[in-house]
Amino acid sequence: MKVYLILLLVVIPIITGGPIFRKSSVTTQKLVEKHGYSFEEHSVQTSDGYILGLHRIPYSPKVQSDEPRPIAFLMHGLLCSSSDWVIPGPENGLAFVLSDAGYDVWMGNARGNTYSREHASYNPFFKKFWSFDWHEIGLYDLSAMMDYVLYYTDEEQLTYFGHSQGTTTFLVLNSLNLRFNSKIKSAHLMAPVAFMENMEGPLTDIAALLFGQPNIWPELFGDMEFLPNTKLMELLGLTACRESSPIQFFCSNIMFLFTGFDYENLNTTLLPDILATTPAGASVNQITHYLQENNSGYFRQFDYGFLRNPFAYGSTKPPEYPIEEIDVPIFLYYSDNDYLSSVVDVHRLMRTLKETTLRRAYRVQHPKWNHLDHIWGMNIKEYLHDAIMEDLESMKNS
């Protein structure tokens, strides 16, 4: 069993990340520019040395105005990238929708993904590069990128949009670094992930049991890369996952195992681009941290085990994130068929946030809406984007 785990999580990522399987040719820039939108790429260095790719759609070709544009900052989920927001195209991609609504759109990329694989001192081939989880992404990556955006645009506030891990990292940053509370006009969190005790799915219990143990797993495989983006994945998408492929259903079923089954809203024409850009790479520690949340029932920092926790935190248990301290207008968007962000856990998050902070919790009115439908769902305007635009409008008068 141990040998197979090593092959799966060590050898395969190394092979698929090698030069023979170079990065996919599908990029956020190409996905944006093919629809006639302007694109900019910026680089930001964090206080701990990671160099992040930051992507911008400064204006929409459909909006002819020289008026200052409010800032929309979008942060992707686990194993994803800025490409998430543009893959569905101008009608359904949230980055395009916000750009058409007059926003100056910025899309972040977390350390370790396709666009953020540089460091001032470490190479991603070395273990030290991968010594992080989503705690550091929230505390260092988000803060560096948002500070850069506000400085570059000479604005005082931005509107935040996060999906999945992009919601987790928002809660991490704004609970531990309260200075950002005044810099965010409102936060719109899709498929919010904080408490995970009721995470579902056929593989959840097995994964949490095997990989969510603080005293074993991090010591063996913690500081390593998990599923980088490669040319191999792009070829897989073009061959096995295109619409004419007789085995296309395998692609959707693999995704559904983790996120919730929803054939009705899966736009199969997007699968080649999804496979070409996702997974975009992450640290094994990010996966482990989420599985620890499922095991413990708490939203707290990484558990290094009873031997190392006293050195890291001064106690045998990791500290919880004080999300009740957050003072940003928050809008939540969740659904009934989300394996990773269950209704019960979202309701617990709602009870934990300040009453004055939580402005609305919108439950998508579709019984099969799953975790990934929040970014790629076929009927996303009707079921989600209209609600988001209503909430944005409500903030104009607040």
Given a cut of 90, whether residue 194 has pLDDT beyond it is: yes
Sole residue written with tokens 């490669």? 230
- Return the closest-CA partner of residue 222 out of 141, 329, 313, 129: 129
Given a cut of 90, whether residue 218 has pLDDT beyond it is: no
The lowest-confidence range among 34-38, 219-223, 268-272 is: 219-223
Helices (H), 11-127: 12-16, 28-33, 94-100
The lowest-confidence range among 12-21, 57-66, 155-164, 245-254 is: 12-21
Whether the bond between 279 and the residue before it is cis, its omega within 30 degrees of 0, is yes
Provide the Cα torsion 193, 366, 259, 288; round to 10°: 10
What is the model's pLDDT at position 17? 41
Percent of the chain that is helix, strand, coil (3-state, to 5): 45, 15, 45
What is the model's pLDDT at position 268? 81
SS3 state of residue 57: strand
Given a cut of 90, whether residue 88 has pLDDT beyond it is: yes
Given a cut of 70, whether residue 67 has pLDDT beyond it is: yes
Q: What is the pLDDT of residues 159-180, one digit of tens each?
A: 999 999 999 999 999 999 999 9
The lowest-confidence range among 38-42, 134-138, 265-269 is: 265-269
Q: Could you say which architecture CATH assigns to the domain 2-396?
A: 3-Layer(aba) Sandwich (3.40)
Residues 6 or more apart whose CB falls under 8 angstroms from that of 242 comprise 248, 271, 272
Q: Which residues are catalytic?
A: 164, 371
